[in-house]
Homo-oligomer: A and B are copies of this chain.
C-alpha cells in the first residue's frame, strides 16, 4: 500500500458530468458515515472539467479547481486519489491514468473503454508503483460485480459469465416487446426521454457491452482484456417479428455479453440472444442490468441492479474510494499483471449451441424440401419448426430452432439459403443462451 494513503484520502475528481456530481453528493451527504466505515477522512482536494461554469446541481465553489485534470495527479498536488470520470479509451483519461499511477497516486475510474483497451498496461504500472487501481463502476453500474469476481468468487474456477450490461439496449428491447414497436421508433423515443444518447452508436451497436465483457472475461479467467477477438453485434436489426416469435416459443430477446472458458480457450461475444423465459436474464427488464456467473464450487450466482445513472454509478465509485481508504490490496486485475495470460480465442464459428432461424420464403411447394435438404447436408438438426401464414411483405415465415450444433454449420446453411431463389430476404439467426 502506498504510504501517501496512510492519512486522509484527498480525492481529485476529473470529469464533472452526472456521475462526478453524484460522487460529490455522496461525500457531502454521507461524509461522517463513510469516514467511520473507512477508518479515515475522505475529502475532495480538487475538481476538474472542461466547463467551469456549467450548473451541475451541486455547489463546487468551495473545491479547488484545476483547468487541466492531469495537474491533479502531479506529485505535489496534495491529492492522493484520482477519480476519473472523463471517459474515452485514450486522450485525457489515459494521460491522467498514466500520470497518477506513475506517481503512485491511486486511480479509481468508471471508464470501461480505458480498462478494456489499456487494463494490462495500467495494472502493471500500478503494481510497479504500489498505487491502487479500481474500476467497479466500469461494469454494471451499481452492482458490485467486479468485487464479486475479483474477491467474492476468488476460490472458483469461473467457467462462464453472461450479462445484460447495457441499460439502453435492454430498455429498447423491453419497449419493443411490450408495445410491439419497431426499433427505430423506440430509439427515437428513448432519445427524447434521455434513455439513449444523441449518438447511440456505442450502446446499440454493442461496443459498450463489448468493453464490459472484455473486463469481465479478464477478471473471470485471468486473461488480458482482449477487444480484438470479441465479435460484436448490436440490436439494430432486431425485427418485431422475431420478438413476437421469441414470445411464442418461450424466449425473450436480450443483448448479452458472454464470456466462456472451455478446454479450447476463451470465447467472448456480444450479440442479441434468445433467452428462455425461465432463465434469470430473461426477466431483467427496462434499464436494469444483471450478470450470471458460473463457478466450479459456488455454482451459479446472479447479480442484478441499476447499470447506469448518477446514484448507482457514484455508489460504485464510492465503494472503490473506500476500498482504497481501507487499504484493500490484491492484484489489480485479479492476478498480477505479468501473470495475465493471453487468451486463446475461440472463434464464434466454433461455438456450439442452439439457434433460432427465421426465413421468409415463397409460398409454393418444394420450398420446404429445398430447405430441409440443405439443413441435412450441413448437419443442422432441427428441434422445432413452425410455418406461418403470409408475412406482411409477402411470402411466408419459416421459424426453426436447432439442436446443439457448431455455428459453422449454421452459417453454411444460412449462406446456402440466401442463394435459393425461393428465399425472399436475408435469413435471421439468433443464438439461444440460457
Chain A interface (Cβ within 8 Å of chain B)?
Answer: 1, 22, 25-26, 29-30, 33-34, 36-39, 136, 142-144, 147-148, 151-157, 222, 280, 283, 295-306, 309, 311-312, 314-319, 321-323, 326-331, 334-336, 339
- Looking across the interface, which residue of chain B has its beta carbon closest to that of A25? B297
State how many copies of this chain the complex holds.
2
A231 to B119: give the CA distance in the assembly, Å: 49
Quote the shortest CB–CB distance from A33 to chain B (angstroms): 7
Q: State the Cβ distance, A8 to closest chain B Cβ, in Å.
A: 16
Q: How far apart are the CA atoms of A295 and B22 in the complex, in Å?
A: 14
Q: Which residue from chain B places its CB closest to the CB of A149 in the assembled complex? A: B144
Complex Cα–Cα for A327 and B330 (A): 8
Is B315 a contact partner of A155 (Cβ separation < 8 A)?
Answer: yes
Return the chain B residue nearest A322 by Cβ: B154
Query: Can you list 14 A-B pairs, Cβ within 8 angstroms, ordered by A?
Result: A1-B327, A25-B297, A36-B335, A39-B330, A39-B336, A143-B301, A147-B152, A153-B315, A153-B319, A297-B311, A299-B305, A301-B303, A303-B304, A322-B330
Known: A155-B315, A315-B297. A37 touches B306 (CB 8 A): no
Report Cα–Cα, A25/B157, bound state, in Å. 13
Give the docked Cα–Cα distance between A323 and B151 (Å). 7
Across-interface contacts of A222 in B (CB, < 8 A): 33, 36-37
- Verify A151–B147 contact, CB threshold 8 A: yes
A151 → chain B, closest Cβ, in Å?
A: 6
